[in-house]
Amino acid sequence: MRKRAAALLLALVMALFALTGCTNSKGEVLTLYDANGLKIERQGAETRIYDLEGEAQYTFTSHRVRAAKGTAAQISEAKTTADTDTITIQTVHGLIIVTVKTTGDTLYIKGAQ
């Protein structure tokens, strides 16, 4: 009887740990870059880009999807998401490319895993 109760208690504790880990989808804010009037943060699947000079914010959310037939051309071409006086943001399959126009710096941000 004691072995069964101990096994049940252990299973309950393990289930609690598993569920607690799964419900924390946001996580803590991780600063990826902070300089030249640009700040990039990641929190869970969300990546936020703050254009401090242009006073704008851009948010990208990573999603896992299966590639369909005929998407090879879409994956290989970068799409311009934002083009302002201070920054250019382009996206291509799982990658965010940010170019700071004032310094010429280019940052490559891999999507959240």
Which residue is listed with tokens 């490319």?
Answer: 97
Which residue is listed with tokens 């049940």?
Answer: 8
Two tokens, residue 96: 């965010």
Domain ranges of the chain: 2-63+78-110
Asked if 97 and 33 touch (Cβ cutoff 8 Å), the reply is: no
- Phi and psi torsions of 73, nearest 5°: -65, -40
Please list the pLDDT of the chain residue by residue as tens digits (113 residues).
Answer: 777 877 777 777 777 666 665 544 567 999 999 987 899 999 988 999 999 988 999 998 887 766 666 555 555 678 888 999 999 999 987 889 999 998 889 999 987 66
Cα separation, 100 vs 113, in Å, equals: 25
Closest CA to 54 of 77, 78, 36: 36
Q: What is the pTM of this model?
A: 0.66
